[in-house]
Structure 1
Amino acid sequence: HTLDEKLAENIVTIDIRNVNAYTDYYVICTAKNPRHANSLVEFVEKEVTKNGFDVRLREGERESTWVLIDMNEVVVHIFTEDARSTYRLEALWADQPQETM
C-alpha cells in the first residue's frame, strides 16, 4: 500500500542526504482535511511497523494540519493544503533533488 492509494495528494520526495545529518529523505504529501491527515498518519505508522521499522517520533496531534512522522532515515510530513502552502517545505529545500510521485 502507498500514500497514493490512500488518496494523499501532491506527494514529493526530497533527497537531503547531502545537507542533513539526521535523516536522508523527506516525503511530503497533502491530505484533504485534518481527518484524512489522521488516517494517513495511522496508515504510515501501521505500514512502518508491519515492515519491521520503528517510528522514532511523531509530532502533531490528532486532527492537526501538519503531522511529522520520523523513522530515522525517512521523515514523512503530512499537511492539509493550507498548512502546506504556509510552510512551503519544498521551497525551503528547493536546491536538493526532488521527485514528484
Structure 2
Amino acid sequence: MNSSIDDDKAEDLVVIDLHGKSSIADFFVIASGRSDRHVGAIAEHLLRRVKKIGLGRCRVEGLNKRDWVLIDLGDIIVHLFRPEVRKFYNLEKMWSIEMAEPERATH
C-alpha cells in the first residue's frame, strides 16, 4: 500500500501504529497531495489497486471534495490531505500522544 502511495508521488508519508491506542484500526497511513486533483488521483489509484489485489470492499469519504480523502480498509485507514488541511487537523499529533487513563472515582 505504501508503495502505491509513493508511486503517485504523495508527500510526507507517515504510518501511525494505533495498537493500544484505539480499536478503530491498527494503523493510520497519512499522506499529502500537492493539490485537490493530486489528492484525488492518489485516492483513485489506491482504490483501483485495492480492488485489483482483492482486499475486499472499503469505505471512502471525501472523494468528491478531495481536501481530505479517507479510505477505510478495516485494519488500516488511509488519510490523504491537501497540505493546508493536513496541517489544520494535525492527526499525527493527535494520535501520537499517549492518552492518559481516566481516573477512577473512589467513594
TM-score, structure 2 as length reference:
0.83
Describe how 1:73-84 pairs up with structure 2 within 5 A.
73-84=75-86
The number of aligned residues is 96
Cα deviation, residue 11, structure 1: 0.1
- The runs of at least 4 consecutive aligned structure 1 residues that moved more than 4 Å come to none
- Which residue is equivalent to 2:71? 69
Tell me the C-alpha RMSD between the 2 structures: 1.4
AA of the residue aligned to 1:83 = V
Unmatched runs of 5 consecutive residues or more in structure 1: 97-101
Show CA shifts across 1:41-87 (max 9, x none).
Answer: 11111111111102431110324210100000100000000100100
AA of the residue aligned to 2:82 = T
Whichever structure has more strand as a proportion of its residues is 1
Q: Which has the larger radius of gyration?
A: 2
Where relative contact order (Cα < 8 A, 6+ residues apart) is larger, the structure is: 1
Alignment identity in percent? 31
AA of the residue aligned to 2:87 = S
Unmatched runs of 5 consecutive residues or more in structure 2: 99-107
- Which residue is equivalent to 1:99? none
- Which residue is equivalent to 2:28? 26
Whichever structure has more helix as a proportion of its residues is 2
TM-score, structure 1 as length reference:
0.88
